[in-house]
Structure 1
């Protein structure tokens, strides 16, 4: 147990290490995958169920059957046009509905801006490229209401994968890019070739092993090195927004995050990296001082890039 982090963070590590490792269904067991997604969502709802009222305004937008949760934090000025396009995580199989809405509300409070939370389609019923198509649909719709410099896109884990892939897809389709991109512990190399997939195995209190069963379900037979599936292998020299990346020293995806940062820097993209002591995948999943520190860094980055883009 590391003594270099807060008591709250240490407690979170203990809880994570005591949790049962995820057991993935067989590839063709569709009911098993649906049951796993439902159980995961129920666990997340249990974690956030005791949160106080978030306040603010909420609206459910329907884009031809694709739900988007538009959420403004309490106290937001009526003329504040900034929007944070939030892409939820959940190994591409969980995080829909109420979980997506609550995560969007938490993000709105954290970044101090309006959020559009994408309730994208997921496996086993909808596989690649359904989720990425949905993210692009929402981004197009948002561009009809906001200038690109008023938009920041962000995602965590599988959501970070989709957010980064969205930037490549939007650029390739000739769309203007947003003011900035936020990638929290992003899964950007679906081949799992990074060093920390091995060196942090057994140390990450959130990810207890390979995600390959979920990755293969999502990818549906496509080449895992395709940049729309593994953005790390994309070309960043022809346009990419300023990016902040966050991970932790115990994160199984630390290598994904570090390698993405280096790839962006090599291509001349403005990118900053924050690695937090003893944090696993998704930090400490709570209200620890370390989680608050990360939230401050992301808000500072987003506010700076919104302000720069508005000049």
Structure 2
């Protein structure tokens, strides 16, 4: 994870130089989702009758690459739905609410092709935050909501002051204090944007009316406490929610497809959640 702006620029240079790749049997089509650049990733046998809006992670600052493409392909293979990997605008050049607004734009683009009941929104890390924030903005604007939401390793409160930021800081090798400061400063325009805005920090929002939601978090990441609290708040709002705290896992473990069997198991759980939600609206 980049620790400062200089490292972020190097990280972006590497990402731009990366040749886009997807697994065999998977197609990748660059698309313009009403101004939000994206890639439609479809495994063999997948269709656009059901589609998933995928908002990738990267601390609101990093460019999505082949790791996110492989993850999108894995979910498409399991669900037979095409996945729209959205390259939303990045901070610090584009702080809040640019990324969320691009998520809303891409969702509405999909909703003109596929009924909302056949859509889902999925995000990891910062993309998990954007998944929830996008859904909240859609609800606020009166849009038809998707069948389900999935957020893995999501920062639910951008104040970054939850208890496990203290108790697990020595166990989380990825979300270090310097990386968290980079994310906070970038997305909040050096603290000039209020992190209390519920569309920035979903833990502070009224969550009533959101669709069935899956939250996944590792027990070794500093975001554990916020995700558990978010699950409690969703239950109190009478939202159907499944909160999974994965023992021994660190931030964004679901993307480590080749290296960890837990990643494969996680993606099986995500696919099962999506398929159950779609089946329930039939």
TM-score higher than 0.5 here?
yes
2:84 to 92, 116, 125: 116
TM-score (norm 1): 0.81
Question: Are 1:129 and 2:103 an aligned pair?
Answer: no
Counterpart residue number, 1:24: 4
Determine the C-alpha separation between the residues in 2 that align with 1:107 and 1:137: 22
Question: Are 1:223 and 2:189 an aligned pair?
Answer: no
Determine the C-alpha separation between the residues in 2 that align with 1:172 and 1:213: 30
Question: Are 1:283 and 2:257 an aligned pair?
Answer: no
CA contact (8 A) 1:247 1:253 kept: yes
1:60 to 30, 33, 43: 30
Counterpart residue number, 1:166: 134
> CA RMSD of the aligned region, Å?
2.4
Question: Are 1:255 and 2:255 an aligned pair?
Answer: no
Which consecutive residues of structure 1, in runs of 5 or more, have no partner in the other structure?
Answer: 1-20, 26-31
Quick one: structure 1 residues 36 and 226, their matched pair in 2 at CA, closer, same or farther if it must change by over 3 Å?
farther
Determine the C-alpha separation between the residues in 2 that align with 1:258 and 1:34: 30
Question: Are 1:200 and 2:168 an aligned pair?
Answer: yes
For residues 38-57 of structure 1, what are the structure 2 equivalents within 5 Å? 38=12, 41=15, 53-57=23-27
Counterpart residue number, 1:306: 278
Runs of 4+ in structure 1 off by over 6 angstroms are none
Counterpart residue number, 1:29: none
Return the index of the structure with the highest Cα Rg.
1
Deviations 1:28-63 (A, max 9, x none): xxxx375144167479x69x97xx733233321113
Which consecutive residues of structure 2, in runs of 5 or more, have no partner in the other structure?
Answer: none
SS across alignment from 1:81: strand
Quick one: structure 1 residues 229 and 92, their matched pair in 2 at CA, closer, same or farther if it must change by over 3 Å?
same
For residues 264-275 of structure 1, what are the structure 2 equivalents within 5 Å? 264-275=234-245
1:234 to 202, 205, 209: 205
Q: Give the structure with the higher percent strand.
A: 2
Question: Are 1:294 and 2:266 an aligned pair?
Answer: yes
Quick one: structure 1 residues 106 and 292, their matched pair in 2 at CA, closer, same or farther if it must change by over 3 Å?
closer
